[in-house]
């Protein structure tokens, strides 16, 4: 019998995040349809949802794409909207729009590795310019009343690890919480995330600290929490292939049976996702989003190695799901459990890098 383990919770200003299990922001992935999919699969076990990052200019110039990215459904709350950019006044203007839209938190991206973004001083570029990060925080804090959080990497490269310095700036300039993805900018998604760095920040911090990187199973979650004592876990790629992961962690933490999704569950969940995509976007967007999902998920499809390639060539989301269901039923795996796996962050679907092109 599983003995269970304690799950943390934390508060940022008036916003309670319980449990401290957070859907990580992922460009090209964590739009409103995906977040609602996660809510449907994991329910109350996911404590906070985060948007994909939004370029501040997209909001301040009134671009429709920015408004679509910022849109969320009431059922998604509490929700954090993540912004990226380098100009303090424009960041403050964008943050006001986030507050006006009714979001619970605004988060500043200090970790995106995309060259185009870093070159302009945003994303992980902020790790090399902490005075600018301080100015961004001051400007935003002066204009909005919702809590402001930040998400960082360890540093730019192995020679400039500065998560502790960044934490100091965050605390002195009013950030309400900090999430650390324990890789450097230069590392992108290679190697393993450094959870000792999360533990070190947690020991030093006065604000809640969240850790991010490589959590795929309840056991990964248990180990990271025990090792770091951090206030919350952020889960990204693990949730793409397994939107039930927060539920599984919650059930394991309670010491109960852990839900094991089958391919039938996957098809059913993706049909719901396809419906939401069709409601949320113009018709040209859903097939690409579904391809992103299936390109990761079908790497572990057990019986037909060609299925993934065939689905990815299809022009319609519904046709892809019909084909998945047909093959899963015909080859007898429709009621077999799926297997979670995460690839590198780059490649198909890593919008953060695509945007850099």
Ligand X SMILES: Cc1cc2nc3c(=O)[nH]c(=O)nc-3n(C[C@H](O)[C@H](O)[C@H](O)COP(=O)(O)O)c2cc1C
Shortest distance in whole angstroms from residue 7 CB to ligand X = 17
Q: Does 25 bind ligand X (CB under 6 A)?
A: yes
Contact residue for ligand X among 106, 126, 253, 352 (CB under 6 A):
352
Among 208, 238, 243, 250, binds ligand X (CB under 6 A): 238
Choose, by CB under 6 A, the member of 36, 69, 202, 237 that binds ligand X: 237
Question: Which span (72-80, 208-216, 265-273, 330-338) binds ligand X, by CB under 6 A?
Answer: 208-216
Of 33, 85, 88, 111, the one binding ligand X by CB under 6 A = 111
**Binding window for ligand X (CB under 6 A); candidates: 24-32, 87-95, 168-176, 249-257:** 24-32
CB of 345 to ligand X, least distance (A): 4
The Cα 325–Cα 180 span in angstroms is 38
Under the criterion CB under 6 A, does residue 220 sit at the interface with ligand X?
A: no
Active-site residue flag, 112: yes
Segment interacting with ligand X, rule: CB under 6 A, options 19-27, 33-41, 298-306, 327-335? 19-27
Q: Sign of torsion, CA 322 327 330 336?
A: negative
Query: What is the Cα–Cα distance from 125 to 87, expressed in whole angstroms?
Result: 12
Identity of the residue, 91 or 328, whose beta carbon is nearer to ligand X in the bound complex:
91
Three-state SS annotation for the chain: CCCCCCCCCEEECCEEECCCEEECCCCCCCCHHHHHHHHHHHHHHCCEEECCCEEHHHHHCCCHHHHHHHCCCHHHCCEEEEEECCCHHHHHHHHHHHHHCCCCEEEEEECCCCHHHHHCCCHHHHHHCHHHHHHHHHHHHHHCCCCEEEEEECECCHHHECHHHHHHHHHHCCCCEEEEECCCCCCCCCCCCCHHHHHHHHHHCCCCEEEECCCCCHHHHHHHHHHHCCCEEEECHHHHHCCCHHHHHHHHHCCCCCCCCEHHHHHHHHHHHHHHHHHHCCCCCHHHHHHHHHHHHHHHCCCCCCHHHHHHHCCCHHHHHHHHHHHHHHCCCCCCECCCCCCCCCCCCCHHHHCCC
Residue of 215, 290, 307, 333 interacting with ligand X (CB under 6 A): 215
Residue 185 or 237: which CB sits closer to ligand X?
A: 237
| Nearest CB to ligand X, comparing residues 269 and 342 | 342
Catalytic residue among 41, 110, 112, 311: 112
Residues 70-89, interacting with ligand X (CB under 6 A): 82
The rounded distance, in Å, linking the Cα atoms of 35 and 71 is 11
Nearer to ligand X, 220 or 325 (CB): 220
218 counts as binding ligand X under rule CB under 6 A = no
How far, in Å, are 34, 201, 304, 311 from residue 339 at the CA level?
A: 20, 33, 15, 19
Q: Residue 230 CB, nearest distance to ligand X (Å)?
A: 14
The piece of 22-30, 125-133, 194-202, 257-265 that touches ligand X (CB under 6 A) is 22-30
- Site residues for ligand X, 143-172, by CB under 6 A, read 151
Q: Which is nearer to ligand X, 210 or 333 (CB)?
A: 210
Check residue 182 for interaction with ligand X (CB under 6 A): no
Q: How many residues in the shown chain lie near ligand X by CB under 6 A?
A: 27
Catalytic residues, by residue number, are: 112
**Residues that bind ligand X in the complex, under the rule CB under 6 A:** 24-29, 52-53, 82, 109, 111-112, 151, 181, 212-215, 235-238, 345, 349-352
């Amino acid at each position: 019998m599983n003995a269970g383990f304690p799950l943390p919770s934390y508060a940022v200003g008036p916003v309670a995040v319980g449990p401290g299990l957070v859907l990580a922001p992922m460009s090209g992935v964590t739009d409103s349809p995906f977040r609602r999919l996660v809510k449907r699969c994991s329910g109350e076990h996911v404590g906070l949802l985060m948007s994909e990052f939004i370029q501040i200019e997209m909001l301040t110039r009134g671009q429709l794409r920015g408004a679509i990215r910022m849109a969320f459904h009431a059922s998604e709350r509490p929700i954090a909207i993540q912004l990226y950019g380098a100009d303090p006044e424009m960041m403050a203007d964008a943050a006001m729009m986030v507050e006006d839209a009714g979001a619970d938190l605004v988060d500043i991206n200090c970790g995106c590795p995309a060259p185009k973004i870093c070159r302009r001083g945003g994303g992980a570029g902020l790790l090399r310019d902490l005075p600018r990060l301080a100015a961004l925080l001051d400007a935003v804090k002066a204009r909005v009343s919702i809590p402001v959080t930040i998400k960082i990497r360890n540093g730019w490269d192995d020679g400039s690890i500065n998560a502790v310095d960044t934490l100091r700036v965050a605390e002195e300039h009013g950030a309400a919480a900090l999430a650390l993805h324990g890789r450097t900018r230069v590392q992108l998604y290679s190697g393993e995330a450094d959870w000792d760095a999360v533990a070190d920040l947690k020991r030093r911090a006065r604000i809640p600290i969240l850790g991010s990187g490589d959590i795929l199973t309840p056991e990964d979650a248990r180990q990271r929490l025990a090792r770091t004592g951090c206030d919350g876990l952020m889960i990204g790629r693990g949730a793409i292939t397994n939107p039930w992961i927060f539920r599984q962690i919650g059930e394991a933490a309670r010491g109960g049976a852990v839900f094991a999704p089958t391919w039938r569950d996957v098809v059913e969940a993706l049909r719901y996702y396809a419906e939401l995509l069709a409601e949320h976007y113009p018709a040209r967007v859903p097939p690409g989003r579904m391809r992103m999902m299936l390109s990761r998920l079908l790497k572990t499809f057990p019986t037909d190695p060609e299925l993934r390639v065939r689905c990815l060539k299809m022009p319609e989301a519904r046709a892809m799901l019909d084909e998945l269901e047909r093959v899963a039923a015909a080859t007898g795996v429709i009621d077999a459990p799926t297997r979670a796996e995460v690839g590198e962050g780059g490649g198909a679907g890593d919008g953060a890098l695509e945007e850099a092109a």
